[in-house]
Amino acid sequence: MYPRSRNKQGMKDTHAVDPELGEALRQFRESVHASVERPGFFWKRQHQEIMARLVSSEATPKSRALRLAPAALAIFLCLFFFVESSKAPTPDLAAGSDQILLIEIERALSRDCPEALDPAGVFHDELDKIGRSQ
Amino acid sequence: MNTSVADAETVKSTIGPDDFDWIVLRHQKQIYRTLLYLVRDTDAAEALTQECFLHAFRNHRGFRGESGLATWLVRIAINLAHDHSRNRRWAFWRRLTRTDNVEAIRAPSVQRSPEQALMYAESVEAVRSAVERLPERQKTAFMLRFVEDMPLEDIAEVMDLQTGTVKSHLSRALEAVRGACAKKRI
């Protein structure tokens, strides 16, 4: 409980009430204190229970970690598989590029002139048409 | 109170796990009373008293001695009581059991005439019913001030409020109680 001397200032501030109300408050306080009166064994039992919980909580960090280990492992594995499965399939670049190159070569061989000279080919065709018409 | 224990508490600015034996012995009654008054349920008050000391034990390094040990523990208890009140499941259960699972506030075993006993009971009931209707913060401030005799500065610390705000809560609470008492007399 609080020392009366320390409490004096506070008492001045809020206990400045009329005597009747002061008496009602005093009786109320007295009755609340009386309502939690318990036999000695109640407090002894509660003390023992609290101390038992404190002791067990002190001993638990290791065991708690052990208890949580399987759950943590399961979560880790789930995350791992989830991440793995959600990755976009990587195209087989090597095989794809070979195939594209072969197609390009085939196209180049089947052409009359190289692709880079296509505009010149068109120009030549146009000149050829003009010459024939004249 | 054991003087050596009181001295130890005054001097100590830090506490260790070994101190909890006497801390529980010395403060369990006040914590239980505070919690019982706030949660109005004996079973919950018992369980929360244990939780309070367990929480204090786990966080004992957080106690730096700026406030008194009692203030620190009451603060934990009040936070637990508020968490408990916020829990809807418990709130429902409490509404159902409110009048059944808590002992009625009773008169201490003092010899009184029947008339005196009746007046005493009426007076206490008037205050109790008025306090029950108070908003949570006013009720807490009232309880700490007038049941636990806690200084205003400590109430402010426990409730994380300014001292002026505590005074304001107390003033409103007192006004409500005064009104209820006056009504009872009419």
pTM: 0.62
Taking the CA of residue A82 and the nearest CA in chain B, the distance in Å comes to 35
Same domain, B90 and B166: no
Q: Are B124 and B146 in contact (CB under 8 A)?
A: no
- pLDDT tens string A46-104: 999 999 988 887 766 556 667 778 888 888 888 888 887 776 555 555 566 788 888 88
For A25, which of B17, B146, B171 is closest by C-beta distance?
Answer: B146
Of B83, B103, B123, the residue at which a domain comes to its end is: B103
Question: How many domains, chain B?
Answer: 2
Same domain, B166 and B99: no
Same domain, B42 and B118: no
B6 touches chain A (CB under 8 A): no
**What is the structure's pLDDT at B120?**
83
Chain B's closest residue to A26, CA to CA, is: B146
Q: Which has more confidence, B68 or B17? A: B68
The pair of structure tokens assigned to B180 is: 């209820």
3-state secondary structure of B181: helix
Structural domain span for residue B64 = 1-103
Q: Testing the interface with A: which of B7, B19, B181, B185 to mutate, by most A Cβ within 10 A?
A: B181
Same domain, B95 and B149: no
- A&B contacts, CB < 8 Å: 125
Q: Which residues of A touch B106 (CB under 8 A)?
A: 31, 34-35
Dihedral (CA of A35, B102, B84, B18) sign: positive
> Hunting for tokens 């280990």 — which residue is that?
A69
Of B78, B103, B128, the residue at which a domain comes to its end is: B103
Of B76, B103, B130, the residue at which a domain comes to its end is: B103
CATH number of the domain enclosing B76: 1.10.1740.10
CATH number of the domain enclosing B150: 1.10.10.10
